[in-house]
Amino acid sequence: MAKKSVRNRNKRRVKLVERFREKRDALRAACSDINLTAEERHEAALKLQALPRNSSRSRVRNRCKLCGRPRAYNRLTGLCRLHMRLATINGMVPGMHKASW
């Protein structure tokens, strides 16, 4: 089980990403636009660097919805391997069942 502070930190990052998404996308497009002058592209790059570090999408970590575990995350269900196994055994995941032979 992940610490509550770590899970809350990740939630704050998710909120920051959503808040700055449009601005960050516009600045990233301006940085790579060949029709702009070099000075304008440089200014866009500086503005992009001035944004909060945690507003970048790559800083967000996928975590299990139930326990906050960062490793062995399943994107389909949003659960870690441990909770995925329990959900599968209990029949909560359609189309999946525990293998037995």
98 φ, ψ (degrees, to nearest 5): -70, 135
H helices present in the chain, as ranges: 4-31, 38-50, 81-89
pTM of the complete model: 0.79
Residues 30-61 have pLDDT tens digits of 999 999 999 999 999 999 999 999 999 999 99
pLDDT of residue 52: 95
pLDDT-derived band at 66 (thresholds 50, 70, 90) equals very high
With 90 as the cut, is the pLDDT of residue 79 above it?
Answer: yes
Mean pLDDT, residues 80-94 taken together: 91
With 80 as the cut, is the pLDDT of residue 100 above it?
Answer: no
Q: Identify whether residues 38 and 16 lie together within a single domain.
A: yes
Q: What domain range includes position 36?
A: 1-61
Q: Identify whether residues 101 and 72 lie together within a single domain.
A: yes
